[in-house]
Amino acid sequence: MPAWLLAAVRAVTALNRGIFMATVWLLAIVVPVMLFEVVSRYVFNAPTVWGMELAVLLFGPYFLLGGPYLLHLRGHVALDLARQRLSPAWQRRLDLVNFPVIVVFCAILLYFSVPAAFNAWSYRETSFSAWNPPIWPAKAMVPLALALMLLQALVEWAHTFWQIPTTHADEAMP
């Protein structure tokens, strides 16, 4: 692999890892909010108008922005039972087909999500609930996450194509 491409591959993976590590902290907000909502609702019979909605608005970006780095870690759901029966050469061939499929899928979704996110931002879209928070920031995370996933799929394809061993020991979760 050319040196400039290797640097780009490492930069994309490092970016996605940094975003992943930052989004993990969203759960530090979601969990207490959900605990407060459950206690308010079932112990005091006084549900909040904002608890569930805030949890959903924060969990969406957590889920979306964690996906690209999870692709690097091979943490997505896969047909491991079938795949592990294949030789390494056939596993590589599958990856050489699979990653471009992911790129095309992300590109199609990106094509449709960018206008939707832009419209939500331009109209300052809100949820129209009793709390009525802005939802355009959450909608903006969709094209961002798709772009990052597309880049990570290209990176993983390059790893597979040039047969660069991927080690995750230095990238272990804290």
Tens digits of per-residue pLDDT, 135-160?
999 999 999 999 999 999 999 999 89
Kindly report the pTM of this predicted structure.
0.86
Environment class of 40 (CB within 10 Å of its CB; exposed 0-12, middle 13-18, buried 19+): middle
Which residue range is the domain that position 21 belongs to?
Answer: 3-75+86-165
DSSP 9: H
User: Does residue 174 fall inside a structural domain?
Assistant: no
Q: Is residue 172 part of a domain?
A: no
Residue 15 lies in a domain: yes
Please give the structure tokens belonging to residue 142.
Answer: 């969709």
Write the burial class of residue 30 (CB in 10 Å: 0-12 exposed, 13-18 middle, 19+ buried).
Answer: middle
Structure tokens at 32: 């207490």
CA distance 154 to 141: 20
- The band of 47, judged by pLDDT with boundaries at 50, 70 and 90, is very high
Query: Which pLDDT band holds residue 173 (cuts at 50, 70, 90)?
Result: very low
**Cα Rg for the chain, rounded, in angstroms?**
20
Degrees, nearest 5: CA angle 29-31-37? 100
Q: Are 90 and 96 in contact (CB under 8 A)?
A: no
Count structural domains, the chain: 1
Kindly state whether residue 171 falls inside one of the protein's structural domains: no
pLDDT, tens digit (0-9, with 9 covering 90-100), for 82-99: 888 889 899 899 999 999
Domain-located, residue 129: yes
Considering the chain, what is the average pLDDT of its residues? 90
31 part of a folded domain: yes
